[in-house]
């Protein structure tokens, strides 16, 4: 059998013992006439304390003088204990209600043996709210004040020792203006001093032990919430203990008011009701934190709404409302409580959740005790209030569940501690092996990286050898520049400079793609340029574009579906004839002249892909040193800036060219470089960049 089940059965046994201990052991003498209680046959020594559940004469709306004789006809005969709220007081069927005043009387008859036996003790437990008690016209007890104005105080049990006589008249004056139930709502008890005082001392010791123990447990768990990650469960458990302390101290012997007499009655009354109203929701929240998947959220929300309504009555200045809402609390305990037990906790037991059995027993004890209190308050049974004991069983169960969890956690920690050294050694060896493997892999990666970098650098040298030196442009056009930046080691942008007789040809292209594949394509395109221009003596820009398009389609279109073509712009300058021709494919020419600026677009198609029919544009340019021609790929305008993560843009790039067109070629190249670095800062190049500037 698991530990939680053993503890569960133990808690059930404790609860049964408490119920048996609260049952009545004595048999009361029978009453034959209202207002007359004949105790001559009752043996106080052997039968113990007598509960005075008898019929008293009841006088409504009057406080009879204690020495009144003979007594007038009573308003009604009332079997105590009970409240006077629904006692008929008129021929029309009207009832007493809540507020008002009344007198209770009864005559006790004792035998000569009882008179000789010695004193007896009368225990007055719960009278709502202010009262005076008289024996044969002598005041023996008082709580609050009845005249001239009613002053009500908290109920504290009183013990009155008196010497019995053949006949004694017991008379109560009672007045109420605040509480829902009025009058002698709890049974009077009569017995010899030994039995009465032993019972009182037993209850004092029991409640004191209960309050002090639960207060320490509650404060411990409330303080514990400051130091543990899962604060909810510990906080709610601590709050449950504090509520149990308040409930225990404000009922029964009312120890709180006896320990602190200066407490106002309204505060102690709110302790009694508030702890009872708040406890069900705190218990529900505690279960929800413990079994989040089993406790229905909607039921918990309904429980919370009811609790808010009940707690609102606690803060009402009129104590009456606390009692009016008591049926709502009973619904909460009798309906929602069993639902949580048989649905929520039942599912937890079915799913074998740790501690579910303990929760089942604890909550069952609480609901059973609450039902007992409801029946006791309605005078169906005379067991006394047991909800504090139900809460005690619940706290014991939860404390045991928490202890079992901590024990399991401690066992896990202990097991880890015992095997920690072995596991650390094993993990250290495993990490050492992994470290060696990682070092070997790092060495291998570095070697591959070095080989790859060497290969790329060699490929760059090949590409540069094919493209030719940049100084060749200077030889052809002294006042010119080539601004060329590669994203990686090799580039997908390319340039080609050549001359056939008096015609100088400048080409700038951008093979779609990046890296090594694009670099190889630039070499192929460069080879085709040499073939077209030098072998076929082709100098017309449009013819060069169309011939290149035909060669690329023949080479790639049937075998490589990944080839995306190349963008291209070509200038043909015949200085002897003073002719400047241009053709482009998806690239433009920027022309700066003294009379203005012009952006001359090429065809929209890309070379080597779709149908292309390039045309040559003849530029009206005089070779007087005042005209500037710019060829460029789209790399500069695509560059992302570090500050705003946006591209530089074509408009800003053309504006940059316009602003610096009057400077020498070297200065223009420096401005481009400075602007690029200031824009991108620590960002990598977005694409390859190529710009050619020529002054004619």
Tokens of 416: 């880890």
Res. 21: pLDDT tops 50: no
* 246 in any annotated domain: yes
CA-nearest of 186, 138, 172 to 62 is: 172
pLDDT tens, position by position, 568-626: 999 999 988 889 999 999 999 999 988 889 999 888 888 888 777 788 888 888 888 88
Which of these three, 385, 408, 431, is where a domain ends? 408
Query: From CA 640, how far away is CA 685, in angstroms rounded?
Result: 8
182 lies in which domain range?
36-191
For residue 299, what pLDDT is reported?
A: 82
CA separation, residue 394 to residues 21, 218, 221, 449 (Å): 19, 13, 16, 69
* Residue 106, C-beta contacts closer than 8 angstroms, at least 6 positions apart: 35, 36, 37, 54, 55, 56, 57, 169, 170
Last-in-domain residue among 191, 225, 242? 191
- Which has more confidence, 184 or 358? 184
Q: Report whether 329 contacts 309 (CB < 8 A).
A: no
Residues 13 and 75 in one domain: no
Find, among 285, 201, 205, the residue nearest to 243 by Cα.
Answer: 285
306 inside domain: yes
Q: Residue 421: inside a domain, yes or no?
A: no
* 474 in the same domain as 623: yes
DSSP notation for 483-510: EEE-SSSS-SEEEEEEEETTEEEEEEEE
DSSP 91-146: TT--B--SSEEEEEEEEEE--HHHHHH--EEEEE--EESEEEEEETTEEEEEESB-
3-state SS assignment for residue 235 = helix
Distant-in-sequence, close-in-space partners of 225: CB < 8 Å, separation ≥ 6? 231, 234, 235, 238
Residue 22 has pLDDT above 60, yes or no: no
Mean pLDDT of the chain: 83
Q: Is there a single domain that holds both residue 220 and residue 186?
A: no
Q: How many CB atoms lie within 10 A of CB 605?
A: 18
Query: Residue 519 falls within a domain, yes or no?
Result: yes
Whether 370 and 475 share a structural domain: no
Q: Which DSSP symbol is given to 149? A: S
pLDDT at 201: 93
> Do residues 71 and 7 both lie within one domain?
no
Count of domains for the chain: 3
Q: Find tokens 């469960």 and name the residue.
A: 233
Contact 252, 203 (CB under 8 A): yes
Question: Is the pLDDT at 279 greater than 70, yes or no?
Answer: yes
- Comparing 246-250, 339-343, 632-636, the range with the smallest average pLDDT is 339-343
Q: 435 lies in a domain?
A: no
pLDDT tens digits, 119-164: 999 999 888 888 999 999 999 999 888 876 766 666 789 999 999 9
Q: Is residue 320 part of a domain?
A: yes
Same domain, 248 and 394: yes
234 with 91, same domain?
Answer: no
Query: What is the rounded average pLDDT of the residues 320-335?
Result: 73
CATH (domain of 597): 3.60.40.10
For residue range 402-434, list pLDDT tens digits in order: 777 767 777 777 777 777 777 787 888 888 888
Rounded alpha-carbon distances, angstroms, from residue 23 to 12, 393, 596, 622? 17, 19, 114, 125
Last residue of a domain, one of 165, 191, 217: 191
Q: Residue 93's domain is classified under what CATH number?
A: 2.60.120.260
**Sign of torsion, CA 519 522 526 532?**
positive
**Which candidate, 73, 61, 68, places its Cα nearest to that of 183?**
61
Pair 186, 255 in one domain: no
398 and 499, same domain (yes or no): no
User: Does the residue 503 lie in any domain?
Assistant: yes
CA distance 398 to 358: 7
For residue 16, the model assigns a pLDDT of 52
pTM: 0.55
209 shares a domain with 187: no
Tell me, yes or no, whether 638 and 691 share the same domain. Answer: yes
Higher pLDDT, 401 or 566: 566
Q: Are residues 641 and 677 in the same domain?
A: yes
Q: Over pLDDT 90: what percentage of the chain? A: 31
Examine residue 440 and state whether it is found in any structural domain, yes or no: no
For residue 508, the cross-strand partners are 495, 569
Residue 51 phi, psi (nearest 5): -85, 125
């Amino acid at each position: 059998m698991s530990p939680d089940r053993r503890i569960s059965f133990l808690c059930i046994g404790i609860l049964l013992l408490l119920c048996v201990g609260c049952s009545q052991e004595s048999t009361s003498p029978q009453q034959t006439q209202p207002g007359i209680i004949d105790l001559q046959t009752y043996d106080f020594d052997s039968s113990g304390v007598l509960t005075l559940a008898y019929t008293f004469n009841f006088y409504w709306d009057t406080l009879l003088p204690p020495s009144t004789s003979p007594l007038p006809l009573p308003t009604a005969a009332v079997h105590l204990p009970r409240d006077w709220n629904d006692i008929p007081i008129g021929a029309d069927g009207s009832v007493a209600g809540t507020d008002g005043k009344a007198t209770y009387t009864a005559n006790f008859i004792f035998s000569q043996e009882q008179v000789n036996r010695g004193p007896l003790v009368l225990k007055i437990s719960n009278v709502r709210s202010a009262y005076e008690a008289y024996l044969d016209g002598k005041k023996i007890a008082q709580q609050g004040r009845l005249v001239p104005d009613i002053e009500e105080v908290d109920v504290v049990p009183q013990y009155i020792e008196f010497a019995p006589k053949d006949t004694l008249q017991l008379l109560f004056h009672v007045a109420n203006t605040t509480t829902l139930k009025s009058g002698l709502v709890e049974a009077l008890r009569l017995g010899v001093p030994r039995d009465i005082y032993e019972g009182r001392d037993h209850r004092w010791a029991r409640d004191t032990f209960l309050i002090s123990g639960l207060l320490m447990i509650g404060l411990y768990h409330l303080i514990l919430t400051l130091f543990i990650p899962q604060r909810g469960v510990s906080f709610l458990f601590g709050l449950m203990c504090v509520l149990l302390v308040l409930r225990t101290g404000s009922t029964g012997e009312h120890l709180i008011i006896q320990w602190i007499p200066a407490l106002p009655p309204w505060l102690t009354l709110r302790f009694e009701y508030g702890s009872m109203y708040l406890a069900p929701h705190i218990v529900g929240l505690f279960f929800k934190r413990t079994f989040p998947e089993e406790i229905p959220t909607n039921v918990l929300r309904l429980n919370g709404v009811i609790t808010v309504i009940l707690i609102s009555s606690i803060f009402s200045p009129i104590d009456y409302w606390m009692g009016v809402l008591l049926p709502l609390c009973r619904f909460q305990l009798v309906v929602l409580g069993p639902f949580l037990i048989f649905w929520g906790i039942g599912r937890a037991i079915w799913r074998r959740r740790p501690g579910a059995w303990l929760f089942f027993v604890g909550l069952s004890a609480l609901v059973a005790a609450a039902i007992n209190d409801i029946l006791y308050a309605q005078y169906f049974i005379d067991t006394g209030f047991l909800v504090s004991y139900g809460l005690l069983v619940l706290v014991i169960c939860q404390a045991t569940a928490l202890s079992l969890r901590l024990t399991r956690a401690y066992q896990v920690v202990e097991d880890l501690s015992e095997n920690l050294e072995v596991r650390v050694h094993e993990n250290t060896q495993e990490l050492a092996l992994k470290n060696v493997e990682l070092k070997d892999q790092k060495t291998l990666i570095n070697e591959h990286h070095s080989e790859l970098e060497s290969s790329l650098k060699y490929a760059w040298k090949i590409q540069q050898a094919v493209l030719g030196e940049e100084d060749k442009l200077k030889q052809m056009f002294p006042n010119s520049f080539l601004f060329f930046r590669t994203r990686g080691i090799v580039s997908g942008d390319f340039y080609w400079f050549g001359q056939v007789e008096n015609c100088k040809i400048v080409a700038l292209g951008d093979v779609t793609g990046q890296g090594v594949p694009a670099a190889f394509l630039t070499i192929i395109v460069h080879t085709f340029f040499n073939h077209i221009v030098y072998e076929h003596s082709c100098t017309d820009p449009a013819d060069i574009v169309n011939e290149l398009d035909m060669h690329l389609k023949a080479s790639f279109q049937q075998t490589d579906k990944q080839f995306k073509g190349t963008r291209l712009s070509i200038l043909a300058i015949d200085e002897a004839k003073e002719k400047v021709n241009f053709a482009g494919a998806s690239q433009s020419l920027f022309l700066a002249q003294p009379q203005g600026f012009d952006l001359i677009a090429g065809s929209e198609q890309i070379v080597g892909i779709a149908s292309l029919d390039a045309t040559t544009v003849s530029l009206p340019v005089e070779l007087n040193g005042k005209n500037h021609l710019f060829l460029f790929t789209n790399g500069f305008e695509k560059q992302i800036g570090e500050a705003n993560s946006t591209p530089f843009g074509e408009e800003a790039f053309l504006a940059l060219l316009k602003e610096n067109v009057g400077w020498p070629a070297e200065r223009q190249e420096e401005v481009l470089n400075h602007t690029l670095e200031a824009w991108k800062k620590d960002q990598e190049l977005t694409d390859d960049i190529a710009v050619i500037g020529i002054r004619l």
